[in-house]
Amino acid sequence: MKLPFALLTPVMMILLGACAPTASQEQALVDPVFAPGQVWEVAWEDGLKPSTVTIPVLHSNERGMVFYVGEEMQGIDNASASFSAGGDIKPHISINVSKAPYGQKRDCNGLINAPVEVGQTVQGVYAFQTARGVYGDYVRTGSKEGLSNCTMKRLK
């Protein structure tokens, strides 16, 4: 079937419009901080041995969070990482470490929304065995009450 040229343009507009994202579809976040393969050192102020972690592969990018997670390996420190933004929270990053050999979990969270160069350190906070609600205050207001200091330094 041959369409007259005058009808071709409206038909193409309808077809292309059907492929365009709608207001209800989410746009993927652009993570300005992490990329798979980066190497970071995470240290906590309570003297627990620092962890050197490699940012794993991208796992998901939805609902205001870019999340990187790797496969679990026994006997070494494992990590996941995330970048979150949107809504009523400040843009922030988190590196979550499961420390070998006992699987002790620690995280470090920092308010940042900019690229981090090799050798640069990001100041962060953590809470050990505390309700995660304190992080809600931190990412909304920047309040560090009830949290301890940690650092995330990009090595590679």
The pLDDT value given to residue 128: 62
The pair of structure tokens assigned to 65 is 């969070």
What pLDDT is recorded for position 27? 72
By the 8 A CB rule, do 107 and 96 touch?
yes
d(CA 21, CA 19): 7
Name the band, by pLDDT with cuts 50, 70 and 90, for residue 75.
low
28-38 pLDDT, tens digit each: 789 999 999 99
Burial environment of residue 95 by CB neighbours within 10 A (0 to 12, 13 to 18, 19 or more): buried
Residues 44 and 106: beta-carbon distance below 8 Å: yes
In the chain, domain spans:
32-154
Residue 133 pLDDT class (50, 70, 90 cuts): low
Query: Looking at residues 64-71, what average pLDDT do you find?
Result: 87
Lowest mean pLDDT among 28-32, 71-75, 87-91, 122-126: 71-75
Q: What is the dihedral of CA 30, 32, 33, 34, to 10 degrees?
A: 40
User: Which of 65-69, 99-103, 148-152 is the least confident region?
Assistant: 99-103
Q: Are 126 and 106 within 8 A, CB to CB?
A: yes
Query: Which neighbouring-strand residues pair with 95?
Result: 81, 108
What whole-number percentage of the chain has pLDDT above 70? Answer: 73
Whether residue 98 has pLDDT greater than 90: no
Q: Give the whole-angstrom CA distance, residue 86 versus residue 84.
A: 7
φ/ψ of 124, rounded to 5, equals: -140, -175
Report the mean per-residue pLDDT for the chain.
77
